[in-house]
Chain A
Amino acid sequence: DESETRLDIKQFTAYSGINAMPQNNSALKSQRIYIDNKAFAVMLPVYGQSVPFHITMVKNIANISKTDMTGFGTLRINFLTPGAVLKKDTGDNFSFAHAEAAWLKELSYRSTDQSYLDNVSAQIKALQKQYKQRLASKKEKED
């Protein structure tokens, strides 16, 4: 039962510190998107920084295909925000965020390479699925 799943802050920490982050990674070196399956993290380039997000924070992905008119596709990564969480769960899962917090809600990337965007989108979705399965099997063991 999904509503009974309580989110524990430690369980969705991507990296405990700098040393736990991927080193000498070619995708990160060239400021590209990187999916770290081991850490359940998505690293997204934002003005020189490769910013990690735990897969829990990714609410969904919109992949808007390239058209002749635009010439590029758009990959929109929507993140969890309090409103969305409260609808699904009854509780105060995000109460550890301070009251005045700003929430990053969306990052959108564009590329003329639609197959690349499709690939990134598929990888993130696969990681979401993998993480859900992991949570489910963990819960099963606890029960």
Chain B
Amino acid sequence: MSEKITLHNICLHDDVANKLYTGTIKIVPSGLAWRSADKNEILTWDKPLITGASFRKVGNGHELRLLTTDGFHNFDGFKEEDYSKLKAHFKTHFDLDIENVPIATKGFNWGDLVIKDKFIKFKVDNKSCFDVPASAISQVTLEKSKKQELTLEFKGSDVKHKDEFLAEMRFFYPRAEEEDVKE
């Protein structure tokens, strides 16, 4: 088995700013590093800092989410066939399983809200529809009285972005009597 995985055109996704930065990822037995294409930024995580990982299909190919002691990091631009390589490396060297997360494709808007690993996850048919990182939320409003609505407002939505920027998200719980949603 190869001891080193190097892949180019892997974008680091800045979730709060919703920006993608192109670069190269390098995974070795002692850890993982990502270097921006302009070489101005190098991020590294030694093996003990890596606590988990998952893999899913996203708009731009596939994404590896790295859970670390300092939070999470999403890398975009993998190919489907990279999964088996990554899975083997993480298992052998980091003793971690990478879950290949099934995603919802049907286009429905009802499902389940789950809070896990500091993400608010919306699942449709038990498949991942989308994840909202708790760190990106600026305000949570829960209206129990008559509308049974949960509103999430996002950081950076008051900044002037040219590309569309997700500012707010609202959920409706027709049957909710007691929901405890906290950041």
Contact = CB atoms under 8 A, between A and B. Distances in A.
Interface of A: 12-18, 20-21, 25, 28-33, 41, 43, 45-54, 57, 71-72, 74-76, 79-83, 94, 97, 99-113, 116-117, 120
A102 B112 contact: yes
A116 B91 CA distance: 45
16 contacts: A12-B107, A14-B107, A15-B106, A20-B105, A31-B163, A45-B59, A46-B169, A47-B18, A47-B130, A48-B74, A48-B76, A49-B128, A50-B58, A51-B130, A108-B168, A111-B165
B122 interface: yes
B57 A57 contact: no
Interface in B130-183: 130-133, 136, 149-150, 157, 160-175
Contacts of B130: 46-47, 49, 51
Contacts of B57: 18, 21
Given A31-B18, A45-B59, A48-B76, A109 B105 contact: no
A131 to B, nearest CB: 12
If over half of B's interface residues share one DSSP class (helix, strand or loop), that class is named, otherwise mixed; here it is strand
B110 to A, nearest CB: 4
Q: What are the 4 A-B residue pairs with the smallest beta carbon separation, nearest first?
A: A14-B107, A50-B59, A28-B59, A54-B107
A85 B59 CA distance: 30
B37 to A, nearest CB: 15
Contacts of A76: 168
A93 to B, nearest CB: 12
B106 A109 contact: no
B7 interface: no
Contacts of A79: 109
B76 A102 contact: no
Interface residues of B, number: 50
A120 B163 CA distance: 12
B20 interface: yes
A45 B15 CA distance: 11
A31 B61 CA distance: 12
A47 B132 contact: yes
Given A46-B130, A47-B132, A94-B110, A109 B103 contact: no
A82 B59 contact: no
Contact of B161 (A45, A105, A110): A110
A109 B167 contact: yes
A110 B164 contact: yes
A80 to B, nearest CB: 7
Nearest to B18: A31
A49 B58 CA distance: 5
Contacts of A13: 106-107
Contacts of B107: 12-15, 41, 52-54, 57
Nearest to B76: A48
B2 interface: no
Contacts of A113: 162-163
A52 to B, nearest CB: 4
